[in-house]
Amino acid sequence: MSTTPPQQPCETSHSARGNTYTLRRFTVGEGGPEQNPEAVQWNRAVSQGFHDGEPTAEATERALASMRAAGTRLRSVYTADPVPPAALGAERPVATFCSWDSQLTLGEGRSVPAWLISEVTVRPTHARRGLLRRLMTDDLTEAHRAGFPLAALTASEATIYGRFGFGAATFNAEVTVDAHTRLNLKAPAVGSVEMADNAAVARLAPEIFARFHERTAGSLTRTKKWWDLISGEWNWHKAAPEPDVRTAVHYDGAGEPDGYVSYRFLPTQGYQGTLEVVDLVGVTPQSRIGLWEYLCNLDLVTEVRYKAAQIEDPLMWGMVDMSAYTVRKRYEQVWLRVLDPVAALTARPYTSHRRVTLSIVDSMGFADGIYVIDTTGARTRVERTGDRPRTEEDRQGKSLPVVELPDGADAALNVDSLGSLYLGAVKASTLHDAGLLRVRDATALRDVQALMSTPTEPYCISPF
């Protein structure tokens, strides 16, 4: 995998609806904001795109340092046309985009490189001119050439990214636990919990998260900004320190730290209030439950809120009164885009022995073709056996063409559906019921379902 950034920024152009644009791809260089004026303007455009305030000097410095540390690849689009009086200057990008390298855990000790995409914005007055499509095409092409098996993002709207081949691949629940009667568990919690020093937790957290990440299918590696967030040193959403953040650490039976929680108290009535979890990481489900017991048993706390619970949460099943656990919202967290089916499907573990011929439809071309996945031998074998027949919808250039089942294939699907199947977030039969998976017959459906099923539900607690 080669991700060495070019020494000089790359520059190309784009024309749409009578407008001309210049596209640049660059990285944050050494030094601070003064040495990186293009990155400063990029950062201002991102804040504007998400309706945030103008970044302060400190926020800018931190954002640039964090991107440099992560090796972030930035893309900006500038208008090449004359700027009318009072409009934002030509140096401010009309569109932004970035990506960096990560690692996705697949289970059974396996993981795969993942190309993470974020900070996608197009100024409303330049929207619907194909700038997102152009940026996405350029970036995915670079990822594919660099040998990345897949790309991932977290989406602001679920309707945008299917057309670019991304499928919802992990889900979380936003939950509250009523703490009026504290947390009563059917099986006693293991280990112990101590309130902790925030700075010390920030030093411990990377190692604890790494252990969680390694054993949790669906988890993506984090950048350094997380450790500032959990200690309250810097909240990058609010662009300010958060002195009201508190932390606690969970210790296993041998007294070794194996989990931490970071939280803030939100007063509701008098001295009482709600605890909002900022981040909760336990190496094991038991350490996570131990941290929940600590949170729910704090005096004056009537409710605990968490945005990143598992869909099938062991905590709820362990509670004497499971009705005190309420799911407020269920949402998709990671969207996956398979770029290289051979590499992605070979990397994944399988629990059943099957041989399936899959037709993958990808209007962007990267993954399009017929593939054989064979797990009947000692080693998984995945091979691209040929092109898929072109359909009328392909010829019309539809973003999401209707899937047809070619002769000789057991099943056919769009590449976004493959992204959803990849970690086992959805059953093949559910996609079939939704009209998204075509199969030769019931046996083929059973085979695809058995092949793609995973022993655990994928879980990611690191939005990016």
Identity of residue 354:
R
- 92 part of the interface to ligand ACO, by CB under 6 A: no
Cα dihedral value 288, 294, 298, 303, nearest 10: 20
Q: Point out which span in 29-37, 118-126, 168-176, 182-190 binds ligand ACO (CB under 6 A).
A: 118-126
294 to 323, contacts with ligand ACO by CB under 6 A? none
The crossing angle, in degrees rounded to 10, of helices 37-49 and 57-70 is 110
Amino acid present at 100: W
Q: How far is CA 209 from the centre of its chain?
A: 16
Among 3, 103, 118, 346, binds ligand ACO (CB under 6 A): 118
Would you say 30 or 157 has its CB closer to ligand ACO? 157
Near ligand ACO by CB under 6 A: residue from 22, 380, 399, 429: 399
Beta-carbon neighbour count of residue 50 at 10 Å?
11
**Is residue 146 classed as helix, strand or coil in its secondary structure?**
coil
Catalytic-residue membership of 464: yes
The only residue of 121, 219, 287, 363 in contact with ligand ACO, by rule CB under 6 A? 121
Residue 107's φ and ψ, nearest 5 degrees, are: 100, 160
Q: How many CA atoms lie within 13 A of 98 on its CB side?
A: 24
Q: In whole angstroms, how close is the CB of 117 to ligand ACO at the nearest point? A: 5
- Pick the closest to residue 152 from 368, 381, 458 (CA basis): 458
* 428 contacts 449 by C-beta, under 8 angstroms: yes
| Cα 35 to Cα 372: distance, rounded to the nearest angstrom | 51
Please say if 26 is a catalytic residue: no
98 is a site residue for ligand ACO (CB under 6 A) = no
CB of 364 to ligand ACO, least distance (A): 11
Q: How far is CA 141 from the centre of its chain?
A: 19
> Among residues 26, 78, 161, 325, which one is catalytic?
161
The verdict on whether residue 133 carries a ligand-binding annotation is yes
Report if residue 169 touches ligand ACO, rule: CB under 6 A: no
Interface residue with ligand ACO, options 157, 299, 407, 441 (CB under 6 A): 157
Is 128 labelled a binding residue? yes
Contact between 67 and ligand ACO by CB under 6 A: the answer reads no
Among 92, 163, 305, 427, binds ligand ACO (CB under 6 A): 163
Stretch that binds ligand ACO, among 125-133, 144-152, 195-203, 283-291 (CB under 6 A): 125-133
Candidates 23, 42, 49, 152: give the one binding ligand ACO (CB under 6 A): 49
Identify residues 328-367 at the interface with ligand ACO (CB under 6 A).
none
Q: What secondary structure does DSSP assign to 43-98, as a single string?
A: HHHHHHHTTPPPPPHHHHHHHHHHHHHHTPEEEEEEE-SPPPTTSPPTTS-SEEEE
Residues that bind ligand ACO (CB under 6 A): 49, 117-122, 127-133, 153, 155-157, 159-160, 163, 399
Q: Which residues are annotated as a binding site?
A: 120-122, 128-133, 156-157
Catalytic residues, which ones?
A: 161, 464
